[in-house]
């Protein structure tokens, strides 16, 4: 059946200016890190994307290695884009990245000009696009000069293969230098994508201040700490969870008794606010005006719908914020 987007799609979503650029992003963006690969059910992925756009989510975030297998999230996204969103490309912000291992040999990883340019060409081919809206360096490369990596981003914009560029996983010293180099080249850094959640707070030490000062947007990933900030772990570690799988990013040993107690107390507070734990965790990030958008993932349309409800209450009283800090101590 032909997909016709909801005519009310822009009525409930909030759009925030990305740093000092002319671009606005939805307060919630959809990340395709999991659940969009060839191992997943395509029709489920399609429904999640449709529901997201119907709710005013205009930004879809990918990377060359998303899947599994690597590259398959871009292929599936490209297919759904052609079949469902063909007439809506100009209403979408599509981003991708390169920086982690993508193919064998010395040119399939890290931050050389050779790798970044080749990878983006492959990404465009997989998605069957002429350009992406945002292209990221996915991580800093300790063995490649930042001038080369940022120079590659600059030339990608000048070639028309991306409209904007960003950085991801850069700590404050590298981010400071990268932003400086891009500014000198005349292609300002649009956005930084760091890991940030109630449980991962390093960006508060100096990165958020830097981004505000330089007029760079911020889009946190893993805002639910790989599922810890959901109702999934309220009764301990379930067998089908990421923490129970040996190959995941979240390890069983990360989930200590103290951590489980924090999750329980945060959940009680969320209930008092009339929210799920996930909704409160997303709202907590959005309370900061320096955060442009928060990247959410979804394995089902129902999970997406639950996350979207966080927009109904993103305000916190001084007492609530103090209570969160006490719980997290």
User: Which region among 20-29, 90-99, 139-148, 239-248 has the lowest average model confidence (pLDDT)?
Assistant: 239-248
Q: CA-CA distances (angstroms) from residue 13 to 33, 220, 255, 269, 294?
A: 22, 18, 34, 25, 13
pTM (predicted TM-score): 0.95
Indicate if the pLDDT at residue 268 is higher than 80.
yes
Contacts of 316 (CB under 8 A, 6+ apart): 283, 284, 287, 324
Q: What is the mean pLDDT of the chain?
A: 96
pLDDT tens string 31-45: 999 999 999 999 999
Q: How confident is the model at residue 235 (pLDDT cuts 50, 70, 90)?
A: confident
Indicate if the pLDDT at residue 242 is higher than 80.
no
* pLDDT score at 252: 73
DSSP reduced 3-state for 164? strand
Share of the chain above pLDDT 70, in %: 96
List domains and CATH numbers for the chain. 18-231+285-313 (3.20.20.100)
* pLDDT score at 1: 85
Burial class (CB in 10 A: 0-12, 13-18, 19+), 173: exposed
pLDDT tens string 170-197: 999 999 999 999 999 999 999 999 999 9
Written as six digits, the tokens of 323 are 């209570």
* Strands 24-26 vs 15-17: parallel, antiparallel or unpaired: antiparallel
For the range 172-178, what are the long-range contacts, defined as Cβ-Cβ under 8 Å and sequence gap of 24 or more? 172/205, 172/206, 172/207, 172/210, 174/140, 174/146, 175/207, 175/210, 175/211, 176/210, 177/146, 178/137, 178/140, 178/146, 178/149, 178/150
* pLDDT score at 237: 75
For the range 202-211, what are the long-range contacts, defined as Cβ-Cβ under 8 Å and sequence gap of 24 or more? 202/171, 205/172, 206/172, 207/171, 207/172, 207/175, 208/288, 208/290, 210/172, 210/175, 210/176, 210/179, 211/19, 211/175, 211/290
Indicate if the pLDDT at residue 243 is higher than 80.
no
Q: How confident is the model at residue 241 (pLDDT cuts 50, 70, 90)?
A: low
* pLDDT score at 248: 61
Q: How confident is the model at residue 253 (pLDDT cuts 50, 70, 90)?
A: confident
Mean pLDDT of the 252-273 span: 92
254: nearest Cα among 193, 199, 204: 199
pLDDT tens string 117-159: 999 999 999 999 999 999 999 999 999 999 999 999 999 999 9
């Amino acid at each position: 059946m032909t997909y016709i987007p909801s005519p009310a799609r822009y009525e409930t979503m909030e759009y925030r200016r990305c740093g000092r650029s002319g671009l606005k992003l939805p307060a919630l963006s959809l990340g395709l890190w999991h659940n969009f690969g060839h191992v997943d059910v395509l029709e489920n992925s399609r429904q999640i994307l449709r529901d997201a756009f119907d709710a005013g989510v205009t930004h879809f975030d990918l990377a060359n290695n998303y899947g599994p297998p690597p590259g398959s999230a871009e292929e599936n996204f490209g297919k759904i884009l052609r079949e469902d969103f063909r007439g809506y490309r100009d209403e979408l912000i599509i981003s991708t990245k390169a920086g982690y291992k993508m193919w064998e040999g010395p040119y399939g990883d890290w931050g050389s000009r050779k790798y970044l340019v080749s990878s983006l060409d492959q990404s465009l081919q997989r998605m069957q696009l002429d350009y992406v809206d945002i292209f990221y360096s996915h991580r800093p490369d300790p063995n490649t000069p930042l001038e080369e990596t940022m120079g590659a981003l600059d030339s990608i914009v000048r070639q028309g293969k991306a409209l904007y560029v960003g950085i991801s996983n850069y700590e404050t010293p590298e981010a400071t230098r990268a932003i400086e180099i891009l500014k000198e080249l005349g292609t300002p850094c649009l956005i930084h994508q760091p890991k940030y959640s109630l449980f991962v707070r390093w960006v508060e030490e100096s990165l958020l201040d830097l981004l505000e000062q330089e007029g760079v947007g911020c889009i946190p990933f893993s805002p639910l700490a790989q599922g810890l900030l959901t109702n999934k772990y309220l009764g301990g570690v379930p067998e089908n969870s990421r923490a129970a799988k040996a190959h995941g990013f979240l390890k069983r040993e990360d989930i200590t008794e103290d951590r489980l107690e924090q999750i329980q107390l945060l959940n009680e507070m969320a209930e008092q606010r009339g929210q799920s734990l996930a909704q409160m965790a997303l709202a907590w990030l959005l309370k900061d005006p320096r955060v442009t958008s928060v990247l959410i993932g979804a394995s089902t349309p129902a999970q997406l719908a639950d996350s979207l409800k966080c927009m109904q209450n993103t305000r916190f009283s001084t007492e609530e914020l103090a209570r969160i800090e006490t719980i997290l101590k």
